Amino acid sequence: MEMKVRKAIIPAAGLGTRFLPFTKTVPKEMLPVMNKPAIQYIVEEAVAAGIEEIIVITGKNKRSIEDHFDKNTELELHLQSTGKLDMLKLIHQSSSLANIHFVRQKKAIGLGDAILAARSFIGNEPFAVLLGDMITDNSPSCTEQLINIYEKQRAPVIAVEQVDPSEIGNYGIVLGQQMEDRLFRVHTLVEKPKTAIPSNMAIMGRYILEPAIFDILSHTEPGVGTEIQLTDALQSFASEQPIYAYQHHGKLYDVGNNLGYLIASIEWCLKNEDMRGPLYKYLKQLVTEIEQD
């Protein structure tokens, strides 16, 4: 019997060093894009793709992520008693999105190790991985697109995008044989290559994987940054079994770096009816002033 993808891992244990000193006490996943933290967009994407169970991998100083998805009775009673029902509805949404579990990664030693922390939760099922610093509002979402590909191929599939050559060293990079439009059979994966760059096709923080990856991860030696790299484990997997890369439709925003976060915030505000007009007017004025300097 072919199993449905119904579980997801959201790794959110990183130290967030690119946002220091802010992330000394506040997780980068809690940075707001409009009025919601980044991680809520990710949970919503998983739920919209049909995911039923989610495990978030957290670390030290990440308790606020758990609190965000929990009920806050005192706040809810206050909003109800003061007639702020629209706000109350928003609070209810965040605490009733999905069946969410949390586990701590004892030490931040890489994405591969974070995924290993969810091994008992996943069991013997295929599962999605959605990185905690990448958001999207496409329909169908990137995760839903990958699940559709997985159901046809019955093999792991990774979301990829073509990136500028100057950015290749920031991503896991894949090289493969094109099978059909947007779909590639992967034979080479390299984490943040510096030399002998195989392509400009970058892994974009969304995966559908199978439980066999756990055994490989448990024997994977530290790689780039002396961390257990998921990319290295996938390379070992690809030498034995098929892995596919899918050039997904739509746009993913890397809110784990300052520029990506700023771009996402601006674009989300421009999609909001109340914010669009004033922000557009301001940006237009700002561009004019810059051009005049």
Q: How many residues does the chain have?
A: 293
**What pLDDT, on the 0 to 100 scale, is given for residue 144?**
95
Whether residue 217 has pLDDT greater than 80? yes
For residue 1, is it within any domain?
A: no
What is the extent of the structural domain holding 84? 7-256
Task: For residues 158 and 129, give the distance between their C-alpha atoms in angstroms, rounded to a whole number.
Answer: 10
For residue 221, is it within any domain?
A: yes
What CATH number is given to the structural domain containing 101?
A: 3.90.550.10
Same domain for 82 and 146: yes
pLDDT in tens, 66-94: 888 888 778 878 877 787 777 777 777 77
Same domain for 110 and 13: yes
For residue 53, is it within any domain?
A: yes
**What pLDDT, on the 0 to 100 scale, is given for residue 170?**
84
Same domain for 267 and 176: no
How far apart, in Å, are the Cα atoms of 1 and each of 4, 152, 156, 205, 209? Answer: 9, 14, 17, 28, 17
Same domain for 220 and 272: no
Whether residue 293 has pLDDT greater than 80? no
Whether residue 50 has pLDDT greater than 80? yes
Q: Which residue has the higher pLDDT, 167 or 42?
A: 42
Same domain for 190 and 139: yes
Same domain for 125 and 76: yes
**What pLDDT, on the 0 to 100 scale, is given for residue 186?**
92
For residue 2, is it within any domain?
A: no
pLDDT in tens, 6-31: 999 999 988 778 888 888 888 899 99
Whether residue 197 has pLDDT greater than 80? no
* Number of domains observed in the structure of the chain: 2
How far apart, in Å, are the Cα atoms of 64 and each of 31, 69, 99, 127, 239? Answer: 11, 9, 17, 25, 40
- 90 near 211, Cβ under 8 Å? no
pLDDT in tens, 243-288: 999 999 888 888 988 999 999 999 999 999 989 999 999 999 999 9
For residue 208, is it within any domain?
A: yes
Same domain for 27 and 153: yes
For residue 285, is it within any domain?
A: yes
| CA distance between the termini of the chain | 66
Same domain for 36 and 26: yes
Same domain for 105 and 228: yes
Same domain for 261 and 229: no
Same domain for 203 and 184: yes
Same domain for 197 and 281: no
For residue 168, is it within any domain?
A: yes
The letter for the amino acid at 270 is L
| Residue 151 exposure: Cα atoms within 13 Å on the Cβ side | 11
CA geometry: angle at 46 spanning 233 and 92, to 5°?
A: 140
Q: Round the average pLDDT of the chain to a whole number and report it.
A: 88
Pairing of strands 183-191, 244-247: antiparallel
Percent of the chain with pLDDT over 90: 47
For residue 34, is it within any domain?
A: yes
pLDDT band at 196; cut points 50, 70, 90: low
Please state the rounded mean pLDDT for residues 154-173.
Answer: 89
